[in-house]
Amino acid sequence: MGIKLNKSRLESYLFTIISCIFYALAINLFIKPNNIVGGGVTGIALLINRFFPWGVGLIAYVLNIPIMIMSFRIKDFSYTLRCLIVTTILNFLIDALVFLPPMTDNPLIGAGYGGVFLGISVGINYRYNVSSGGTELLGQLLITRFKNMTIGKILIIIDGSIVLFGSLILHNPENVLLALIMIFVSGKVSDLVVNGFDCIRMCYIITAHEEKVASELMKKSSRGITKINGIGMYSRKDYSVLMTAVTKQQFTKLKESVIKADKNALVIIINTSEVLGKGFK
């Protein structure tokens, strides 16, 4: 057990460093050379760096200090300490790798590749439950005060304001589009890092002919099926809800099987981020 725990911690530390390297490369190879101001504390640091000859990492680290102080008072101490360590490593690497030459002078390509590198970094952080501080941590802190808001909405407001403010200061309306492209690519890539390329779909099939539908499904697929008893609240009739999880490749066969067995069945499809258990992970 101790060996497994040590291996798990070692893996977490290793990938945290890799995450910081990808983030620092994104800043120095693609984002900063093409004058792209994205969201987050790093976006503010990039904006300040345009007017003052201080390192982007140093500026971001200083801006993170009040956020860390708030976190120590509100959040768990060990979690905040991990955030502080990651923030220190990240911002050190941003300034340490500043000597690297830009990979492109095309802002659009810079936004695309910058988003890919940022997405890899963010995805690794989510996968190993670490945070590099910044607006992500600030959002977690603010949601304790503004309970009617979601963290997603808070981050959109904060990061959107930074992007718009940066574009106004730089007199560069193109920056808004470039930042949106970078954020979009980053989000897609981080999802791939966290969830992988396998798209698992949870299927709920509401039918009055559960035996026929289940039999047809099991002929075409090796996936298990769970039956849940239900009642139509309008008709007051008894129905069965069949629940199963299938891969993207199996989904077409599932639709064909359901239509063949009961063309009046209601099928609800939900994209699932992860499924654990026999036949999956």
| CA distances to 46, 166, 208, 251, 258 from 40, in Å | 10, 11, 51, 38, 47
Comparing 61 with 199, the larger pLDDT belongs to 61
Q: Is 107 left (phi over 0), alpha (psi -120 to 50) or beta?
A: alpha
How far is Cα 227 from Cα 210, in angstroms, rounded to an integer?
8
pLDDT tens for each residue of 22-39: 999 999 999 999 988 888
CA 114-151-139 angle, to 5 degrees, is: 75
pTM above 0.85, yes or no: no
Mean pLDDT, all residues of the chain: 84
Domain with CATH 3.30.70.120 in the chain: 200-272
| CA distances to 115, 144, 185 from 74, in Å | 31, 9, 32
User: Where is average pLDDT lowest: 93-102, 131-140, 172-181?
Assistant: 131-140
* Nearest in space to 269 (alpha carbons), one of 28, 279, 252: 252
How far is Cα 92 from Cα 35, in angstroms, rounded to an integer?
21
User: Where is average pLDDT lowest: 143-147, 181-185, 210-214?
Assistant: 143-147
Comparing 11 with 54, the larger pLDDT belongs to 54
How far is Cα 184 from Cα 38, in angstroms, rounded to an integer?
11
Provide the β-strand partners of residue 229: 240
Please provide the CATH number assigned to the domain covering 200-272: 3.30.70.120
Per DSSP, 149 falls in state S
Percent of the chain surpassing pLDDT 70: 90
